[in-house]
């Protein structure tokens, strides 16, 4: 996979200007106790493996890495990009990802130390931009005019150590989408376009599942996972959950206490002392106890390590496991190459078939699955395809075959040159 990624990076260098990284969960239905991952389509946490795919700006796959135990994008982004470096070299490229990768310290490291630019959504509550600051602006990309209503400003994080550019896009019903990037050389509509271009990667996942069974399990075999991998300690997580509930109870009581203070009748209780006495049992005492509980839980949590080796979270008879990686990686690599080959054929078909944008990939897929006659001639292997469903489709594939024949490609492992053609309807057996 590394060698193929290096070759693709060399042959399609311009397409790597923007690289899209996203996770895709492959659900496991066997009997082994595998880590769980959240499956967005089903809105459930299910056993499985999380694959992190890297696609170029055309949506073409570059490589895929399987997370050790379904770690989130913010944890996996750095190792994924370190692997990408093996393919793209030292070029400064822009990595595009969703809110799952939000980590301000990681952003600073990527930009300042790792020679990456970033493009992502802003995460968390953010005050909306004034409606008056938006302007309709356009830019032409790949021959298409793109127009957005945008507003932009600079924002800072990590005590001014991290400076990013925020581009806000005004959508339907005045919905505002806040985008952050380290790129200062792009027009604001370009920033929005290349982030929203993430739909190409989503289309890739959907198409690969439908046509290449991307989520199919090639094997149910398992192997040992890294026993030293750091994971959250269950006891720490349990206390942290209890602490969050305790803090919520404090906030609830404080709100109740404040409401009682606002409604206090000064004629009956003109002093704070009187107010405290009146509300001591109903609110004051529970509030003091709730605050005391928060302090105790904080002390208990502080005494417990937050992360420990995964081997310490299991019973002694259990060991950390995962699905066998080698078989899966080989399958992913073959499917990736098949998709790239199919895409290349669609690109060649574009000049011969007017409906390529709508039907091109379907036409190529049906052609690759059609019957064919193979004959060996001196120095050649002739592949004659069966006629397609209509004359104009057969004519388009004939022209595509003529282009392939000019490439003089040998059949692998032989000196026979491949020669493609399409049979006439009245000649095909």
Render pLDDT for 383-407 as a digit per residue (tens, 0 to 9). 999 999 899 999 999 999 999 999 9
Q: Are 14 and 90 in contact (CB under 8 A)?
A: no
Cα separation of 47 and 214, whole Å? 17
Kindly tell me the sign of the dihedral angle through the C-alpha atoms of 318, 320, 321, 322: positive
In a domain, 270, yes or no: yes
pLDDT band at 141 (very low <50, low <70, confident <90, very high): very high
This prediction has a pTM of: 0.79
Of 202-216, 249-263, 368-382, the poorest mean pLDDT is in 249-263
Number of domains in the chain: 3
pLDDT surpasses 70 at 17: yes
Domain end among 195, 224, 253: 224
pLDDT in tens, 219-240: 777 776 665 566 666 778 888 8
pLDDT, one tens digit per residue, over 142-154 is: 889 999 999 999 9
**332 within some domain:** no
Are residues 214 and 239 both part of a single domain?
Answer: no
Geometric angle at alpha carbon 19, from 18 and 25, rounded to 5°: 150
Please indicate, yes or no, whether residues 37 and 146 belong to a single structural domain of this protein: yes
Is residue 337 one of the residues assigned to a domain? no
As a whole number, the mean pLDDT across the chain is: 88
The answer as to whether 352 is a domain residue is no
Residue 137 counted as domain residue: yes
Q: Verify that 202 and 53 share a domain, yes or no.
A: yes
Same-domain check for residues 248 and 102: no
Residue 141 and residue 26 share a domain: yes
The more confidently predicted of residues 97 and 234 is 97
- Both 189 and 238 in a single domain? no
Distance CA 398, CA 404 (A): 10
Q: Give the per-residue pLDDT at 169.
A: 97
Question: Are residues 13 and 159 located together in one domain of the fold?
Answer: yes
pLDDT digits (tens, 9 = 90+) for 196-206: 999 999 999 99
Question: Do 252 and 169 share a structural domain?
Answer: no
Are 159 and 254 part of one and the same domain? Answer: no
> Looking at the predicted structure, is the pLDDT value of residue 208 above 50?
yes
Of 203, 224, 245, at which residue does a domain stop? 224
Last residue of a domain, one of 196, 224, 252: 224
The domain containing residue 388 runs over which residues? 360-429
Rounded to a whole number, what is the distance in angstroms from the first to the last CA of the chain? 41
* Any domain includes 72: yes
- Helix (H) / strand (E) element for 91: namely none
Is position 324 within any domain? no
Separation of alpha carbons 396 and 181, rounded Å: 43
């Amino acid at each position: 996979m590394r060698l193929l990624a290096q070759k693709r990076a060399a042959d399609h260098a311009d397409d790597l200007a923007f690289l899209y990284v996203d996770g895709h969960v492959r659900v496991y239905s066997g009997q082994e106790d595998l880590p769980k991952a959240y499956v967005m389509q089903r809105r459930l946490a299910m056993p499985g493996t999380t694959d992190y795919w890297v696609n170029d700006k055309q949506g073409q796959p570059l490589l895929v890495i399987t997370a050790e135990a379904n770690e989130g994008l913010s944890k996996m982004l750095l190792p994924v990009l370190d692997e990408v470096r093996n393919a793209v070299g030292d070029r400064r490229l822009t990595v595009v990802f969703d809110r799952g990768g939000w980590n301000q310290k990681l952003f600073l490291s990527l930009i300042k130390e790792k020679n990456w630019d970033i493009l992502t959504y802003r995460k968390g509550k953010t005050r909306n931009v004034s409606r008056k600051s938006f302007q309709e602006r356009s830019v032409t990309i790949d021959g298409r005019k793109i127009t957005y209503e945008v507003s932009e400003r600079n924002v800072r994080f990590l005590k001014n150590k991290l400076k990013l550019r925020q581009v806000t896009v005004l959508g339907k019903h005045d919905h505002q989408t806040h985008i952050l990037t380290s790129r200062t050389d792009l027009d604001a509509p370009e920033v929005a376009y290349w982030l929203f271009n993430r739909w190409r990667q989503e289309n890739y996942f959907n198409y690969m599942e439908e046509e290449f069974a991307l989520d199919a399990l090639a094997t149910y075999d398992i192997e040992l996972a890294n026993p030293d991998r750091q994971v959250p300690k269950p006891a720490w997580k349990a206390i942290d959950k209890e602490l969050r509930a305790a803090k919520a109870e404090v906030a609830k009581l404080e709100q109740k206490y404040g409401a009682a203070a606002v409604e206090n009748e000064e004629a009956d209780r003109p002093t704070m002392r009187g107010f405290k006495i009146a509300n001591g049992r109903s609110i004051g005492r529970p509030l003091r106890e709730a605050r005391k509980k928060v302090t105790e839980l904080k002390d208990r949590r502080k005494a417990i390590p937050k992360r420990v080796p995964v081997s310490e979270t299991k019973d002694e008879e259990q060991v950390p496991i995962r699905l066998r990686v080698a078989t899966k990686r080989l399958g992913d690599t073959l499917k990736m190459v098949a998709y790239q080959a199919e895409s290349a054929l669609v690109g060649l078909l574009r000049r011969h078939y007017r409906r390529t944008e709508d039907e091109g990939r379907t036409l190529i897929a049906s052609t690759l699955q059609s019957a064919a006659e193979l004959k060996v001639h001196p120095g050649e292997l002739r592949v004659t395809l069966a006629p397609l469903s209509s004359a104009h489709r057969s004519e388009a594939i004939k022209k595509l075959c003529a282009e392939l024949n000019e490439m003089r490609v040998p059949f692998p492992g032989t000196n026979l040159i491949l020669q493609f053609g399409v049979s006439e309807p009245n000649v095909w057996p």
